[in-house]
Structure 1
Amino acid sequence: MSATYESTASTTMALIRPRLTDHHGVMAAQAELDFAIPFFDEDIPLYVDPFMLWRSPSQQDQALHTSLVNAFNHLGYLASKGEEDQAVRTLIAASECDEVGLGSSATRKGKRIGESKAREIVELFKRIPYYAQRGFRHFEEIQFFVDGISKDRISDISCSFLKSFLIDFTMQQCDKTGIPREPVDVENVYDYRKNAFETQRGLVLPVHPGDGRPLLFVPKRWLRFVPWQNCDEYFAGYCPQDEISHKPEEITRVDVLDYNRDHYGVIDAYIQHKERTFEDCKNDPLFSQIPVTSARRKFSLIKKLPTGKDDGADRKYEDAIGQLLPSLLYPKLDFAQEQARTDSGVSIRDLIFYNTASTQFLADMHKDYGSRQITMEMKNVAAVQREHVDQLNRYLAEELGKFGLFVTRNPLNKAVFTRTVDLWSGQRKVIITLTDDDIGQMVELFESRQRDPLDVIVKKYNEFRARCP
């Protein structure tokens, strides 16, 4: 690892759940961008569904789907010409695409399929007459015949065959948002003229600050949690279980896959149904706000909880706040995660938000207090104590900025509030408090849609600053 990457990595890793945009100081909300912002330490828990390209009104997406399916069907052509080994090698290369960072890996590194699994997939072109004669029209159909083909594998194969487009898309989005790029080599880029993967050298792309690996962006419009065509739905509603076994409750996945290979017509009927209902197929957002009714219920639960820890009241309070605030503050603040930390033997739970700087207030928090992320410490106590203020003060280091909030039940008493004013006077740190009444007002604004719930935080900040020297 170069000295440059070591330096940038240490800066980035001080953030909680760091993202590419935050590292480069691009203060943009996820909702405003056309791509899913890559994380450095983990995958994005969404997947490319190739059906989204097929059903898209965009001629470009439709053409990309055709190219994707043609590339996959070329494997069958190779097999028919006695070049099955080449087909297997190509499929193995396509089976993982680390550059996009989609899936469930905690390390952004996946594992390619083995040779035996690749041969089993290629064999479908010979085993099933329809594919031998016409090829696939949706290559994700392989999941209905081969065990171990999951949504992440379908996503990776799609991204691998579409990597050339993703490279161009990433460059375009970097130029649009101001994300820096560096010269880098990208392996396994599919060349449709040669029908083969090759390494492209000297491409200028964003890179991981820890090791310099290239990063590729994926359009949000392609992403889903579960493919439109999926085995669970097929098994539950379309698979003729009585024909497979007289004891449907004992049917295994392998039994279903074996049946499908010999009865392609059943799969074809399911695929045709999914094509007819394509208008119901929508991309999944990276974050979904809870409904207004759920917000009201969460706040009602909070109001009924006693302070303290009896009967798990503290955890119930933290869980309710943890579900409520990310929705109330979206999309002005992107939710990073709930963070547990320990201070002097005391376990503390925080809510961490990315500062998008999408309003003047948030831009000021970044400029004046260095807050690339905003920390909210949850306290289900009757009264916040001075030691609580000191704990949060220690956490507000240079990396996370000097602006933090308590989310608690009641206003600070005079002595504790004076302590927060002293921190402003001596260290120019801001600690404000959101009480039950404040949360209630935020819920009302969330329901009415006439003003932004973030305005409550702005009001609390202005009230605090008015009382500072």
Structure 2
Amino acid sequence: MRVTEYFDIPYKQHEIDFVDVDVVNDVVLFVDPRALTFLESEWAHGCISRIQSFFQYVIECMQEGKDQLAKNALSLLKEPDETHLGYSTGRSRGSGLGDELAERIWEAFSGSKAISSGLLRDLEDTALFVDQISSDRISDITINLIREHLIWFTQESAQYYGIPLQKGLSSGPVWDSHRKNWKIYHTELPMAEGKPLLLVPKSIVRQDLHFNSSEYYRHYILEFLRHEELQNMGSLVHVLKNGNHRVYKKDLERKYGVGKHVNLSITLHHPEVLENYRRTKESQKSPPLSHEDLSQDEPPPDWQAMLSEVKLTTPGKAEADAYHKRVEKLLTALFYPFLTDPRREFPINDKRKRIDITYLNSARYGFFNWILTHHPAPYVIVECKNYSRPLGNEEFDQLAGRFAPHRGKVGMLLYRGFGDKSGVIAHCRDIAREQKGFVLPLDDDDLAELAREAEESQLAGKFTLLQERFREIVD
């Protein structure tokens, strides 16, 4: 049973911001620390800071011979049963394996030249060189280190979606990056099947890590060795009938071996191979999982059904809240993973005013990334007007008044379509010309076009309609 089913939340996976895990069994997904680096938010930066603090502390202790301090730091790592992510089959693993995880990590770290040599820079580097450390272990360590941030995310999500919280629960070990030690305190968390539940943003989970030891071996280590053999006319070079030289993969594997120990031995002597890999991986996209990958046994988003809910909402004040919620469901699904962390009724100006919906602009490519690159747009602001009349000046001024340097100056004005669309676009063009910001007006017909594009387009993130609308208001 998924979280949404267990707590009777009327949302599907594609309409929410967290991974809708099974509250009993584990889902085979992993938290990738590299994914955090693709998010421009205070939350993500805080997570990265904690991971780096812990990892560097342990490495420094081991390099300085302070093994007991390193072991003490590792000792409170446990298998994070609360997230229901990982490889377990059947019911989630439970806390009984915590000591085993810490011991396995200590054995792997203490016996690796990758640690003592100073080769490693980030936690995910360990997956390339350290035996017993792979996707599930990196994910487990990451969850442990960002536990407090996941607690905050869980509490905010619970409040947002109406999930009950239970007071007086243990936080579990939380890494204090300033004092370089662990702390435990009482907090509030959801309870499912008698156990605490930690929710995880779907934008940071992957089916595999961005850094992959097999990929590094096949495409970087072997290619480096192949080049060395050819350059030096080594014993593995075969001369073909046409005079070309060739080195076969199987011969390289036979001579040098296969596995992480080969990755390590070659990289220790030729660190430029690792630097090349890092540069390549930093330039590559590591996109969040698609709706289909996340939903697993659920059907894909029914765009027309979500659109129909919006269009069947009766215009007027009586169903304004219903329109607001239905629009948020549709937009959250349409714009994922480019816009994340939806927040309804977001308070601003010391809570004197509220924004209908805000999204964090997490786009790494496509229309929203272009917006983020060329204009102040860390957030995208949405105002919803379920009016049965044409929009007036005050509606446009209201959204423009929500803009600010720290929030951004890009927003969407959702309305039902009454009145002259060209006049609405003209109003938005005036706002842009006065350098107040960029308001993209979207009526029911525009939402229908976005839904159609989502069904048919293979160009994720392009949002042709939004591009055209933006051109209309800046021309």
TM range (shorter): 0.5 to 0.7
SS of match in other structure, 1:266: helix
Query: Is the 1:289–1:327 contact (alpha carbons within 8 Å) kept by the matching residues of 2?
Result: no
| Partner residue, 1:200 | 185
Structure 2 residue 269 is matched with structure 1 residue 266:
no
**Aligned equivalents of 2:110, 2:213: Cα separation in 1:** 20
**Aligned equivalents of 1:327, 1:22: Cα separation in 2:** 17
The one-letter code of the counterpart of 2:183 is: E
Query: Is the 1:146–1:257 contact (alpha carbons within 8 Å) kept by the matching residues of 2?
Result: no
| Partner residue, 2:423 | none
| Partner residue, 2:221 | 239
| Partner residue, 1:382 | none
Report the CA distance between 1:233 and its aligned residue. Answer: 1.7
Report the CA distance between 1:176 and its aligned residue. Answer: 0.5
Residues 178-197 of structure 1 correspond to what in structure 2 (within 5 A)? Answer: 178-183=162-167, 184-197=169-182
**Aligned equivalents of 1:129, 1:180: Cα separation in 2:** 48
Q: Relative to 1, partners in 2 of residues 1:220 and 1:272: Cα closer, same or farther, differing over 3 Å?
A: same
Report the CA distance between 1:73 and its aligned residue. Answer: 0.9
Residues 43-192 of structure 1 correspond to what in structure 2 (within 5 A)? Answer: 43-94=26-77, 96-106=79-89, 107-109=91-93, 111=97, 112-113=100-101, 115=103, 117-122=105-110, 124=112, 128-131=116-119, 136-183=120-167, 184-192=169-177
Q: Relative to 1, partners in 2 of residues 1:80 and 1:188: Cα closer, same or farther, differing over 3 Å?
A: same
Identity %: 25
SS of match in other structure, 2:278: helix
Query: Is the 1:20–1:39 contact (alpha carbons within 8 Å) kept by the matching residues of 2?
Result: yes
Q: What runs of 5+ residues in structure 2 fail to find an aligned partner?
A: 230-234, 237-250, 314-447, 456-475
**Cα RMSD between the aligned structures?**
3.7
**Aligned equivalents of 2:128, 2:176: Cα separation in 1:** 28
Structure 2 residue 257 is matched with structure 1 residue 284:
no
SS of match in other structure, 1:94: coil
The one-letter code of the counterpart of 2:3 is: L
Query: Is the 2:51–2:145 contact (alpha carbons within 8 Å) kept by the matching residues of 1?
Result: yes
**Aligned equivalents of 1:181, 1:117: Cα separation in 2:** 33
- Give 1:248's match in structure 2, choosing from 252, 261, 265: 252
Q: What runs of 5+ residues in structure 1 fail to find an aligned partner?
A: 1-17, 291-321, 334-356, 362-444, 453-469
**Aligned equivalents of 2:304, 2:109: Cα separation in 1:** 42
Q: Relative to 1, partners in 2 of residues 1:144 and 1:26: Cα closer, same or farther, differing over 3 Å?
A: same
Query: Is the 2:77–2:101 contact (alpha carbons within 8 Å) kept by the matching residues of 1?
Result: no
Query: Is the 2:27–2:85 contact (alpha carbons within 8 Å) kept by the matching residues of 1?
Result: yes
**Aligned equivalents of 1:232, 1:59: Cα separation in 2:** 33
Equivalent pairs, count: 289
Q: Relative to 1, partners in 2 of residues 1:51 and 1:289: Cα closer, same or farther, differing over 3 Å?
A: closer
| Partner residue, 1:218 | 200
Report the CA distance between 1:126 and its aligned residue. Answer: 7.5
SS of match in other structure, 2:191: coil
The TM-score normalised by the length of structure 1 is 0.54
**Aligned equivalents of 1:329, 1:199: Cα separation in 2:** 43
Query: Is the 2:59–2:115 contact (alpha carbons within 8 Å) kept by the matching residues of 1?
Result: no
